[in-house]
Amino acid sequence: MKQAILIFVLLFSVLSVAPTTLGAEKEEMTAAEKYEKRLALYKKTETLTNVPWYYLAAADTYERGLRKAIRDRPTEEGLISIFYAPSQWAGPLNPDLDDTNPLSISMFDGVGLDGNGDGIADRNDDEDVLYTFARYLEKYGYDEEDFRIALWEYYQREKSVNIVHGHAKVYEKFGTLELDEHAFPMPLNYNYSYNNTWGDRRGWGGRRIHEGTDIFANYNVPIRATAYGIVEIKGWNMYGGWRVGIRDLDNVYHYYAHLSGFEKGIEEGTIVAPGDVIGYCGSSGYGKPGTQGKFPPHLHYGMYRDNGRTEWSFDPYPSLKKWERQAYQKRKKK
């Protein structure tokens, strides 16, 4: 038996030259080709396990965002970002943390499975990783509540469960992975102005720094979603007044504050596309519900990135400039 395994290992170390050349080709893939191949992988795994492709897409997208946010997590080499640490994949007591033998991995309580039927369970192989994750979800069942329980067991964090669940709803609704488009939060034909004020000191409510960009405009100028995503929060906040929080597929939380009111149909759980009106410019905030007029009307726009443990503010100004430029270019072409 040992000899047979040895021959297998030798055989596959020879064959493993092939994926390296594939890797080089992958770099030349366009974004559209990448999405197409990724979707094909999700759908293939759905066929094997009955786990809906948009659940797989949601978790994979969440983990792609984590890889961007966590410094000690390597960038993915293939198309799938779901991450397994070597000890998790091979088994905590496995003396060979690079073990790819499904039998010994399972003996040492590792999670790694062979998804593409080549006889090895490789944690750097897209199909093996996706299949391993799908089999994990499958154990809990196929409906939304089962999915949430599986995610809770996996991440042990309510926020992660909510983000992944939100991603799944967005993918289910649009039926595609190509959801990268962005919009500027105000239509170009209104008067508005903004400067880079991120990090400025703020007086009201104790010593705080300004976690966003203020876009000044008149009352009731429409405020629009800047990305594909799901409304995570809607309502009153002492600082932000009437505010909306939208989570996009990059795990980024977009915070729209001081609104005069909300657009009809915008509720927690509503799925939005870039350019969808979500509310109207105002001066609400800095007090109890309904307080307004303590400062000139403007949209306070903030961006926060989740890293799986915590969330932090980053400067939205460069993104706003980019989306505004793109909107002008789009208008010119028409």
Q: Which is nearer to Zn ion, 123 or 298 (CB)?
A: 298
Nearer to Zn ion, 65 or 212 (CB): 212
Report strand pairing: 222-224 vs 298-306: unpaired
Residue 209 CB, shortest distance to Zn ion, in Å, is 11
* Region class of 275: left (phi > 0), else alpha (psi between -120 and 50), else beta: left
With CA atoms as reference, report the closest residue to 284 among 292, 276, 275.
292
Q: Would you say 13 or 196 has its CB closer to Zn ion? A: 196
Question: Measured from the CB atom, is 212 or 316 closer to Zn ion?
Answer: 212
Question: Please, what is the minimum distance in Å from the beta carbon of residue 321 to Zn ion?
Answer: 17
* Contact call for residue 214 and Zn ion (CB under 5 A): yes
Interaction pattern, residues 251-270, with Zn ion; x per rule: CB under 5 A: --------------------
Least Å distance, CB 322 to Zn ion, is: 20
Closest CA to 162 of 148, 179, 177: 148
Minimum Å gap between C-beta 215 and Zn ion is 9
Nearest to 154 by CA among 124, 133, 127: 133
Element containing residue 278 per DSSP (H, E): strand 277-280
Residue nearest to Zn ion (CB): 300
Closest to Zn ion by CB, 182 vs 300, is 300
Which runs of consecutive H residues, i.e. helices, occur in the chain? 2-15, 17-26, 31-49, 53-69, 86-90, 102-107, 126-138, 144-155, 158-174, 317-333
Cβ closest to Zn ion, residue 123 vs residue 300:
300
Considering Cα of 249, then 253, then 257, then 261, what sign does the dihedral take? positive
Find the shortest distance in angstroms from Cβ 132 to Zn ion: 44
Rule CB under 5 A: which of 268-307 touch Zn ion?
300
What is the spatial distance between Cα 76 and Cα 251, in angstroms, rounded to a whole number? 17
211 lies in the binding site for Zn ion (CB under 5 A): no
The residues in 106-145 that bind Zn ion, with binding defined as CB under 5 A, are: none
Provide the minimum distance between the beta carbon of 188 and Zn ion in the complex, in angstroms, as a whole number.
21
Q: Write the CA distances from 314 to 207, 294, 306, integer angstroms.
A: 18, 26, 11
In the complex, the residues that contact Zn ion under the rule CB under 5 A are 212, 214, 300
